[in-house]
């Protein structure tokens, strides 16, 4: 075997056919990227004491590597590309190393408080109780591991710690206060997740691509759901969002094709781009009055959406959201400002104004309704807006006895049987009260 070394940098390793073990000579201080890429049979690499930093990409192409020995002088390890070492089963560390150690082939910091790297060939692991932190990319690519028992005093899970891991269940202890972005990114087999009460954020990409995740209960105290947090969770059918959440990032629930019902918390002021884009099974969404803006694509391609509410107990507001998606923000702005002069499709405007007035008794809207009652009734009867008609029938403020028969005839002419029944019952009630 031979090494091409220039100024302490190992440029290329040239091995004899059949060679499986490489002991890098002393004096080498750095290894070039892909220095071993031409040798697919390497199973063991031993680093010299002259190397202080190990970069994962230098091992790219070492597809047969099963054992990596880290010398006593290594103080820094860049984990980028370590998740390509599909045959790596064991990492050992010199006893003289002041920064790292190993246990059962797994790499830890010397104090055993941070799990640094688990080899991809591991099929099971019990994380020691001393561990308080799972480091970045620590289990990335460990698709053979299906079960992990977390230590009782764990406090932090770093970025992409379980990226592409085969874990099926994650019961995260209450001691955890920080779960960073992408922590469970593309854990396709993850079906059960228990989040600790102490966290305040679901970071971006945390569960992106967790295909088998079916249900999530977000703890009270969480104030932010990051961008792409649950993107492409194809089996997610139920999510509970607490009132503490005030921000939901772009594409947070994009392509959650099994999600059917969403109730947004009262502190949300904006529904960002593509938040629920492609949620093809979503039928009902409750939007609080605090929302002032809905992005055009926030609910794009939600082809089953047929009910929008401004409160959990509100009646149905809009029957076919797909046709008026670009008008929703304007309708909400009318509610926020009370400005009924804003141009908007009347069917939608009347629905917003009437239901909002009946909930708030805002005098600005009452005057508008009284002035336009005949136009509103004509439109609502024609388009079958039973929610508004029923709401009118529950108050004596708008439909006069002199006009009720005219509205009943219009309902018959428009073949609106349900509205006819509502108005007929209202007419009987007003007669009985005389």
* In a domain? residue 286: no
Domain that includes residue 86, residue range: 1-122
Q: Which residue has the tokens 């970045």?
A: 136
- What tokens were used for 359? 């909930």
Residue that terminates a domain, selected from 71, 88, 122: 122
CATH of the domain at 111: 3.80.10.10
Whether residue 247 lies inside any domain: the answer is: no
Most confident among 106-115, 142-151, 382-391, 400-409 (mean pLDDT): 106-115
Distance CA 84, CA 124 (A): 19
* Alpha-carbon Rg for the chain in angstroms: 31
Residues 32-75 pLDDT 10s: 887 887 667 889 999 999 999 988 778 877 888 899 999 999 99
Residue 350 covered by a domain = yes
Establish if 403 belongs to a structural domain.
Answer: yes
Instruction: Give a yes or no: residue 37 inside a domain.
Output: yes
Q: Which pTM does this prediction carry?
A: 0.76
Interior/surface letters 103-124, b for 16+ CB within 10 angstroms, e for the rest: eebbbbeeeeebbbbbbbbbee
Query: Once rounded to an integer, what is the mean pLDDT over residues 382-388?
Result: 81
pLDDT of residue 331: 67
Count of CB atoms within 10 A of residue 363's CB?
A: 10
State the DSSP string of 190-225. --EEE--TT--EE-TTTTTT-TT--EEEPPTT--EE
- Summarize pLDDT for 309-318 with one digit per residue, the tens: 766 666 555 5
- Please indicate, yes or no, if residue 202 is contained in any of the structural domains: no
Mean pLDDT of the chain: 87
Check pLDDT > 90 for residue 239: yes
Asked whether residue 97 is assigned to any structural domain, the reply reads: yes
Angle at the Cα of 139 from the Cα atoms of 133 and 142, rounded to 5 degrees: 160
Q: How confident is the model at residue 290 (pLDDT cuts 50, 70, 90)?
A: confident
Q: Tell whether the model's pLDDT for residue 141 goes beyond 70.
A: yes
Mean pLDDT of 114-131: 93
Least confident span in 32-36, 173-177, 242-246, 251-255:
32-36
In sequence order, the 6+-apart residues with CB closer than 8 A to the CB of 149 are: 126, 127
pLDDT at 367 over 50: yes
More confident residue, 61 or 1: 61
Query: Which of 79, 99, 122 finishes a domain?
Result: 122
Residue predicted with more confidence, 41 or 102 = 102
The rounded distance, in Å, linking the Cα atoms of 318 and 311 is 13
Helix and strand element counts for the chain (H, E): 6, 29
Of 69, 87, 122, the last residue of a domain is: 122
- What per-residue confidence (pLDDT) applies to 83? 79
What's the pLDDT at 312? 64
pLDDT on residue 320: 46
Tally of domains in the chain = 2
pLDDT for 185: 97
Domain-located, residue 166: no
């Amino acid at each position: 075997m031979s090494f091409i070394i220039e100024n302490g940098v190992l440029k290329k390793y040239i091995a004899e056919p059949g060679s499986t073990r490489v002991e890098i000579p002393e004096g080498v201080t750095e290894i070039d990227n892909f220095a071993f890429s031409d040798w697919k049979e390497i199973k063991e690499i031993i680093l010299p004491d002259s190397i202080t930093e190990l970069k994962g990409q230098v091992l790219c192409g070492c597809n047969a590597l099963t054992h990596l020995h880290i010398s006593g002088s290594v103080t820094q390890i860049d984990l980028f590309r370590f998740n390509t070492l599909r045959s790596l089963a064991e990492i050992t560390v010199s006893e003289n190393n002041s920064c790292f150690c190993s246990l059962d082939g797994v790499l830890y910091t010397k104090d055993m408080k941070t799990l640094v790297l688990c080899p991809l060939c591991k099929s099971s692991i019990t994380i020691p109780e001393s561990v308080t932190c799972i480091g970045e990319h620590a289990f990335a690519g460990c698709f053979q591991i299906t079960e992990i028992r977390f230590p009782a005093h764990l406090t932090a899970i770093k970025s992409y710690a379980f990226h592409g891991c085969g874990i099926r269940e994650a019961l995260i202890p209450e001691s955890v206060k920080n779960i960073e972005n992408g922590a469970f990114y593309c854990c396709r087999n993850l079906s059960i997740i228990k989040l600790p009460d102490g966290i305040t954020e679901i970071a971006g990409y945390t569960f992106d691509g967790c295909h088998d995740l079916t249900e999530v209960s977000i703890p009270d105290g969480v104030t932010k759901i990051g961008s792409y947090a649950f993107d492409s969770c194809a089996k997610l059918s139920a999510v509970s969002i607490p009132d503490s959440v005030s921000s939901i990032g772009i594409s947070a629930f994009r392509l959650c094709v099994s999600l059917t019902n969403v109730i947004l918390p009262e502190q949300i002021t904006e529904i960002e781009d593509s938040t629920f884009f492609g949620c093809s099974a979503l039928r009902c969404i409750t939007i609080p009055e605090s929302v002032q803006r809905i992005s055009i694509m926030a609910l794009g391609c939600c082809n089953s959406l047929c009910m929008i509410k401004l409160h959990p107990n509100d009646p149905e507001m809009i029957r076919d959201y797909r046709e008026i998606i670009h008008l929703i923000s304007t309708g909400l702005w009318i509610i926020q400002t009370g400005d009924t002069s804003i141009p908007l499709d009347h069917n939608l405007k009347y629905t917003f104004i009437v239901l909002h007035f009946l909930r708030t008794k805002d005098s600005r809207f009452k005057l508008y309704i009284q002035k336009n009652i005949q136009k509103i009734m004509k439109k609502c009867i024609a388009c079958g807006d039973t929610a508004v008609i029923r709401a009118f029938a529950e108050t004596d403020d708008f439909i006069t006895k002199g006009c009720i028969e005219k509205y009943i005839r219009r309902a018959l002419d428009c073949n609106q049987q349900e509205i006819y029944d509502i108005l007929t019952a209202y007419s009987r009630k007003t007669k009985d009260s005389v």
